[in-house]
Amino acid sequence: MNKPEFVYVSYIATTPEKLWEALISPEFTRRYWAGRTIQSDWKVGSPVKLLKADGGLDWRGEILQSDPPRLLSYTFDPQGFLKSEGISEPPSRVTFEISQLGPEPTSKRSVVRLQVTHDNFEPDSAVAPAVSQGWPAILSSLKTLLESGRSLEFEWKC
């Protein structure tokens, strides 16, 4: 297996449960993921999709691992992007790992480490450079939302 292409880490003043909720709830993702809503029943083997604000499909995937509030992993298949580029590529994989740092979740100073790993790309993948722009913006926006309740608005070209 190839080594991961990207590993992103963010430290967020929240609890693992709240962070998990933010990853799986469409009401949350709409506020930090460029207006997009995520949809799944979050069972292993079930489909997951991210919809744009206009209802169009951003990407789809399949749940590989779901262990709330610690580990979430799904395949990542941006069919719209691939079609617009006129290429085909098998799905890659995104994994979210959540760990508690410092004080207990009940404490007001609870800090959580979120690690996002994106791997299983094709050699010379066209998707890899495209997603490298996205994750840091999504993670900062997610951090701001969880820590201040304020949304950061950012837009993507596609």
Partner 1 sequence: MDEVFKALADPTRRELLDRLRAENGQTLGQLCQQLDMSRQAVTKHLAVLEAANLVVTLWRGRDKLHYLNPTPINEIAERWISKYEHRRLQALSDIKQGLEKKRKKRPHE
Chain residues that interact with partner 1, rule: CB under 8 A:
3-11, 115, 117, 135-137, 139-141, 143-144, 152-155
CB-based contact 31:153 (threshold 8 Å): no
CB-based contact 42:66 (threshold 8 Å): yes
At 136 the three-state DSSP class reads: helix
Give the Å distances, CA to CA, from 7 to 45, 102, 120.
Answer: 24, 22, 12
Q: How far is the CB of 128 from partner 1 (least distance, A)?
A: 10
Q: Which is nearer to partner 1, 27 or 147 (CB)?
A: 147
Q: Which is nearer to partner 1, 79 or 144 (CB)?
A: 144
Q: How far is the CB of 83 from partner 1 (least distance, A)?
A: 25
d(CA 94, CA 69): 16
Q: Which is nearer to partner 1, 8 or 81 (CB)?
A: 8
In the 3-class helix/strand/coil scheme, how is 18-81 assigned residue by residue?
A: HHHHHHHCHHHHHHHCCCCEEEECCCCCCEEEEECCCCCEEEEEEEEEEECCCEEEEEEECHHH
CB contact set of 82 (below 8 Å; sequence gap of 6+): 88, 89, 126, 127
Total residue count of the chain as it appears in this document:
158
Q: How far is the CB of 79 from partner 1 (least distance, A)?
A: 25
Q: How far is the CB of 91 from partner 1 (least distance, A)?
A: 20
Q: Which is nearer to partner 1, 37 or 141 (CB)?
A: 141
Q: How far is the CB of 123 from partner 1 (least distance, A)?
A: 14
Q: Which is nearer to partner 1, 79 or 140 (CB)?
A: 140
